[in-house]
Chain A
Amino acid sequence: MTAAIEIRNINKQFVLRHTRSLKEALVWLLRGRKGDLSKKFHALRDLSIDVEHGETVALLGLNGSGKSTLLKHISGVMLPDSGTVRTGGRVAGLIEVGAGFHPDLSGRDNVYLNGAILGMTEAQIKEKFDSIVEFAEIGEFIDTEVKFYSSGMYLRLAFSVAVHTDPDVFLVDEILAVGDEPFQRKCLAKIKELAAAGKTLIVVSHDLDLVAHVCERGVLLEHGSVVMDGPVGDVISRLRNR
């Protein structure tokens, strides 16, 4: 098997700055850097992890343990302070559905725009367009401006675009709970279909039953470090029993 993700000893500190104003920064400098202009927060701590192609990994941990931050490092949105991140193949993050959607554009325009944002070429979008609309169950509303969509329709279309980008590695952050019950089941089926097709999945979700259903491996984060890595069932029971 080939490596999909290789993370070696990454650290990430966030600087919580108290000012965005040049004046205050200058005053602080002139006064001999007295006082705290910023506070540091260690979000990822000497974290290493390897994922092979075809693995399905559940990323677990309490709020603020660094799950989203880790996914952002894998997708390249953030760079580590130290250590290395390397990925193989195309990585697509379903970090937040509809991040690239614009309410004043039609569903059709949004499909093209979002598809391109997620790295699809014009030909790929054209080819998959019908399938995207069909999966989203948008039908004739595809040429209506997205601001007139119900929130369910909006999420369905955004999710549909994202799953049609066909990357090698999928990062899924808290988005499996979109739309109504039947659509959730459909999303889940699609995710499992991707897993069966040999795609690599990294899933973050509060729904532990769902994660146990989709993933085989579990990784538990605590204060930005991996504290447990093993079969998903074991990791979930440890999380439940604390």
Chain B
Amino acid sequence: MTNGRTSPTHQDAERALVAPGTGNGLADVFRSRFLLKLLVRKELRIRYRGSVLGLLWTYVKPGVQFVAFYIALGVFLGLEQSPTNRGGLPNYAVYLFSGIILVNFFTESLSTATRSIVNNSGLINKIYLPRELFPVSSVWVSAVHFLPQMFVLIVACLFSGWRPGLLEAYTAVAGFLIIALLATGLGLLFGAVNVYFRDSENFVDLLLMVATWISPVLYSWRMVQDKAGEFWFSVYQLNPITIAVESFHHAFWLPTTSGAEGSPPDLITLWIPVGLLVSLAILFLGQWTFRRLEGRFAQEL
């Protein structure tokens, strides 16, 4: 029945009995870096397969969106400062673009991460692997798409006289991190719930639809402060996306202006740490929910 081979003792240690299918969550994703890299590369290759423009779509989409918003809001609604319109924002184009690309990074990350578990059901119900890989790789792919937009922004800023300092570099990185952590956390949460209730996708779509409007992407934070008052403005500021967008404005847009507009009070000392903490808390909540639900992914899919 069994052959007579005896295993050397070091092998016995490796073969200690453990319960299969119980991983360590995001720590396992880090351990499977190579697989993560391959999943990201696969997604990048196949996303735009069969399309003539290919990866150029990642420029075209935000480009068109930017132009439409710029004309409608900057010109028609008078948000851009001009000799005839003193009340507007200086360098509105840079203001708008820096916010749009960051929110687009969030939108793409979250909507693909939410669908990632269901879309990979073929793998998940056949082979055990850290399932967190799928939402994480979705965010990673979006970050790769975000990169060329970032490049365009930096070029545009340099042309507008942007000379960043250390503080600007810090707020830029912080803004990006806040969004990446938040999208990963919410992606884990909604990706897992989506296995049980496909309503999750629609809810996320709704959330993303308002994401651009409830943070100061198109308008200035001062307008909110003026209309809402101190208390409600603080509530408004609790949204990590708001803080991330303001951080990006501080990094890219503010240095290209006279600085008269300013950033919200305490952005760097208070709100950026708050944004990072809120995003981290949501990441933990997402991971916790994901781990509670993932045991039954294979049978539900």
CB of A22 within 8 A of CB of B197, answer: yes
| Interface residue? B35 (CB, 8 A) | yes
Cβ-defined contact, A168 with B35, below 8 A: no
Contact of B127 among A1, A86, A88, A93 (CB under 8 A): A93
**C-beta contact mask, A104-147 vs B, less than 8 Å → 1, else 0?**
11000100110011110110000000000000000000000000
A177 within 8 A of B: no
CB-based A-B contact count at 8 angstroms = 121
Q: Are A72 and B298 in contact (CB under 8 A)?
A: yes
In the complex the two chains form, what is the Cα distance from A86 to B45 in whole Å? 38
Q: Which of A52, A77, A116 contacts B126 (CB 8 A)?
A: A77
| CB atoms of A105 and B2 under 8 A apart | no
In Å, the complex CA distance between A143 and B294 comes to: 36
A87–B34 touching, CB < 8 Å: no
Chain B interface residue bracket vs A? 35 or more
The smallest C-beta distance from B45 to any residue of chain A, in angstroms, reads 7
* Minimal beta-carbon separation of A12 from chain B (angstroms): 8
Does residue B20 face the partner (Cβ distance < 8 Å to A)?
yes
Identify which of A6, A22, A55, A76 contacts B22 (C-beta below 8 A).
A76
**Residues in chain A near residue B19, CB distance under 8 A:** 76, 84-87
- Size of the chain A interface, CB-CB below 8 angstroms: 52
Say yes or no: is A79 at the interface (Cβ < 8 Å to chain B). Answer: yes
A11 part of interface (Cβ distance < 8 Å): no
A-B contact sample (15 more), CB < 8 A, given A79-B21, A79-B22, A85-B20: A20-B196, A22-B197, A72-B125, A75-B21, A78-B298, A84-B19, A86-B19, A86-B20, A88-B18, A93-B127, A96-B126, A102-B46, A104-B45, A104-B49, A117-B35
18 A-B pairs whose Cβ atoms sit less than 8 Å apart in the complex: A1-B2, A3-B17, A14-B299, A52-B2, A53-B2, A54-B2, A72-B125, A73-B20, A75-B127, A78-B298, A79-B296, A96-B126, A105-B45, A105-B46, A109-B38, A113-B38, A121-B34, A198-B3
